[in-house]
């Protein structure tokens, strides 16, 4: 039987809510994914700085308390990534904050399956539009979002402190009402 981490494996993707006790495991997975995803785009110092800022236990707990929803992305029941969205605002706009898969499962449809499930969940919750920021040099993710119905609406270079910036495209996609 092939494992979900086998590069040729195609399986069933599901989303499972991430609970407060699991935020340390989210940080651990991010520390595997981020250097692979951003190693050619960002300096190692910036990767460490952003991981520390965005994936500290307290920060992730606060995100959950503020109404951010997080899910494990599971392939045949095995955790292979995670997603974070929300909260949905009064206009029905929902920010997508985090969308990450382990390197071994990238590029074989898992992200698109997870995104389709996310759209179902968010539509049921009354979301009319999903918005996100993506590093302007992250061509693979930009290609992925385009393929999944997003377009580039703008750009923003955000000062995040310690001499670092997030130089991003702003992308959005309307959901059918
Ligand atoms: C972005 C990510 C979630 C996409 O999930 P995925 O399972 O790899 O993507 P899929 O296999 O579903 O790809 C669907 C489409 O996206 C596009 N795409 C995916 N990888 C791509 C790449 N490396 N270059 C260009 N386009 C790409 C293609 O159009 C692809 O369709 P195709 O297979 O018919 O050509 C995943 O690759 C990932 O975690 N990447 C690293 C972290 C990251 O950058 N996250 C986004 C932060 S904003």
Contacts of 36 (CB under 8 A, 6+ apart): 103
pLDDT score at 163: 96
- pLDDT tens digit string along 38-65? 999 999 999 999 999 999 999 999 999 9
Establish if 3 belongs to a structural domain: no
Decide whether any atom of ligand 1 lies within 6 Å of the 37 Cβ: yes
Decide whether any atom of ligand 1 lies within 6 Å of the 114 Cβ: no
Establish if 25 belongs to a structural domain: yes
- Residue 66 has φ and ψ, to the nearest 5°, of -80, 0
Q: Which stretch of DSSP H or E encloses residue 85? A: strand 78-85
Q: How many domains does the chain have?
A: 1
* Domain extent at residue 162: 13-172
What SS3 class is residue 37? helix
Establish if 7 belongs to a structural domain: no
10 Å CB burial of residue 124 (0-12, 13-18, 19+) is: exposed
Tokens of 73: 């992305």
Establish if 6 belongs to a structural domain: no
Contacts of 34 (CB under 8 A, 6+ apart): 47, 50, 51, 100
Cα 122 from Cα 108, distance rounded (Å)? 23
User: Consecutive 10-residue runs of the chain (177 residues): their mean pLDDT?
Assistant: 60 96 98 98 98 97 98 97 97 98 96 97 97 98 98 98 97 93
Establish if 55 belongs to a structural domain: yes
Establish if 8 belongs to a structural domain: no
- The answer to whether residues 57 and 20 touch, using CB atoms and an 8 Å cutoff, is no
pLDDT score at 92: 97
Q: For residue 35, what is the domain's CATH number?
A: 3.40.630.30
- Residue 27 has φ and ψ, to the nearest 5°, of -60, -40
Decide whether any atom of ligand 1 lies within 6 Å of the 100 Cβ: yes
Task: Please state the atom number of ligand 1 nearest to the C-alpha of residue 34.
Answer: 42
Mutate to test the pocket of ligand 1, among 35, 141, 145, 166 (most ligand atoms within 8 A of CB): 141
What SS3 class is residue 159? strand
Give the position of tokens 């918005």: 131
Nearest-CA residue for ligand 1 atom 30 is 144
Decide whether any atom of ligand 1 lies within 6 Å of the 111 Cβ: yes
Decide whether any atom of ligand 1 lies within 6 Å of the 138 Cβ: yes
Q: What is the pTM of this model?
A: 0.94
Tokens of 19: 């609970």
Establish if 167 belongs to a structural domain: yes
On the CB side of 115, how many CA atoms lie within 13 Å of its CA?
20
Establish if 31 belongs to a structural domain: yes
Task: Please state the atom number of ligand 1 nearest to the C-alpha of residue 147.
Answer: 29
Sign (positive or negative) of CA dihedral 88, 91, 92, 95: negative
pLDDT score at 175: 97
Mutate to test the pocket of ligand 1, among 144, 145, 171 (most ligand atoms within 8 A of CB): 144
């Amino acid at each position: 039987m092939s494992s979900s981490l086998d590069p040729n494996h195609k399986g069933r993707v599901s989303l499972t809510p991430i609970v407060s006790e699991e935020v340390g495991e989210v940080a651990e997975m991010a520390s595997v994914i981020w250097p692979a995803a951003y190693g050619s785009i960002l300096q190692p110092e910036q990767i460490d700085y952003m991981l520390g800022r965005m994936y500290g236990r307290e920060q992730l707990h606060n995100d959950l308390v503020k109404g951010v929803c997080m899910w494990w992305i599971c392939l045949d029941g095995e955790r292979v990534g995670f997603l974070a969205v929300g909260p949905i605002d009064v206009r029905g706009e929902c920010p997508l904050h985090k969308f990450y898969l382990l390197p071994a499962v990238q590029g074989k449809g898992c992200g698109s399956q997870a995104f389709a499930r996310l759209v179902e969940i968010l539509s049921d919750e009354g979301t009319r539009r999903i918005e996100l920021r993506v590093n302007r040099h992250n061509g693979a993710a930009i290609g992925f979002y385009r393929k999944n119905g997003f377009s580039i609406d703008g750009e923003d270079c955000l000062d995040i402190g310690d001499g670092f910036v997030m130089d991003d495209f702003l992308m959005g996609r309307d959901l059918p009402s």
